[in-house]
Amino acid sequence: MSPVVVVGSFNVDHVWRCQALPAPGATLSGQYATGPGGKGFNQAVAAARAGAATSFVCALGDDAGGALARGLASADGIELLADASTEPTGTAGIYVDAHGRNTIVIGAGANGALEPAFVQRQQPGIARAGVLLAQLESPADTVELALALAREAGAVTVLNPAPANAASTNALLAHADVLTPNETEFAALLARHVGERIEADDVAATDGATLHALCRKLLPRGTVVITLGSVGAFVSHADDALRGDAQPYYRIAAEPAQAIDTTGAGDAFNGALAASLAQSLRAAFGEHVRFANRYAAASTERAGAASAMPRMKPQAG
């Protein structure tokens, strides 16, 4: 089994559970909780709890949030490689409604100051990774360098292009072996990088051949996994790189779950996918996606982001 390196954000999440998401001008009552989050940290915790030796490269402030990250990483056996920032540790304000849906506002803080030079200094650790996983809550040039260093060393690079409004470039995408947008991120990337328009709400119902053709335009040489929430996932490979699968594109059904909070479900999927890939690169790619799907579904049955990640390992194979 080879290690997973996650490069990304840590946030202190401030969460209000309320009946409905607030409309502009509304004042609502809700139940408050706080806990660890940030797409990067959530994914690192998921990878670790799915059985991978995990390192997390991030930037933290010299404050209570930074101390929280250090303590929690240590509790989960995650090697924390943190750039000390003069900015405060990242924060997120999250509303969760009665259906488990959320709205999030982030204050990037230290996450926005994760420098390429710091990632460059982590090259020896990155070179030992089997899988490098990154998202877009960190500066795009830093993420691009991390992906480039990992690929140069022979690791599989997974880019979760979240959130949808984050900056991305063609060069950044080109460093991803596997790209994992949700339907909103997929629509945003298609508009930005390919000039194709599709409504996010229409992605799940679009026929497979059309989705595959769009995925091929977006990432001609890599694999695209579109996560579709309660509908499952769509996988599209380059014709000459099926990663052990029999078909270039296919759908995987969602796993049933009694969802109470979908915050971090995408992060659960990505962390579990990276852990599964790192544990057995020989298995068919679809098996890794099925495991990630099960893992993400289980994460929605508990409240919170990083703390909702289940301890669940893929079958050895």
Residues that bind ligand RIB (CB under 6 A): 9, 11, 13, 37-39, 42, 92, 104, 106, 137, 263-264, 266-267, 305
Select 188 or 211, whichever has its Cβ closest to ligand RIB.
Answer: 188
Least CB distance to ligand RIB at residue 104 (A): 5
Select 17 or 212, whichever has its Cβ closest to ligand RIB.
Answer: 17
Please give the residue whose beta carbon sits closest to ligand RIB in the complex.
37
Q: How far apart are CA 184 and CA 165, in angstroms?
A: 9
Least CB distance to ligand RIB at residue 284 (A): 28
Select 109 or 286, whichever has its Cβ closest to ligand RIB.
Answer: 109
Q: How far apart are CA 88 and CA 254, in angstroms?
A: 38
Set 83, 97, 261, 267: catalytic member: 267
Least CB distance to ligand RIB at residue 127 (A): 27
Q: Are residues 203 and 226 in contact, defined by beta-carbon separation less than 8 angstroms?
A: yes
Select 11 or 300, whichever has its Cβ closest to ligand RIB.
Answer: 11
Q: Looking up tokens 């659960």, which residue turns up?
A: 268
Q: Which residues have a Cβ under 8 Å from the Cβ of 100 and sit 6 or more positions away?
A: 259, 260, 261, 262, 300
Least CB distance to ligand RIB at residue 151 (A): 25
Select 38 or 139, whichever has its Cβ closest to ligand RIB.
Answer: 38
Least CB distance to ligand RIB at residue 235 (A): 21
Select 30 or 125, whichever has its Cβ closest to ligand RIB.
Answer: 30
- DSSP E strand stretches across 18-67: 31-37, 54-61
Q: How far apart are CA 77 and CA 86, in angstroms?
A: 26
Q: Specify whether 267 is catalytic.
A: yes
105 by Cβ neighbours in 10 Å (0-12 / 13-18 / 19+) ranks as exposed
Q: Which residue type occupies 297?
A: A
Least CB distance to ligand RIB at residue 55 (A): 19
Q: How far apart are CA 160 and CA 138, in angstroms?
A: 12
Q: How far apart are CA 29 and CA 32, in angstroms?
A: 9
On the CB side of 8, how many CA atoms lie within 13 Å of its CA? Answer: 31
What is the dihedral sign for C-alpha 101, 107, 112, 118?
A: negative
Active site residues: 267
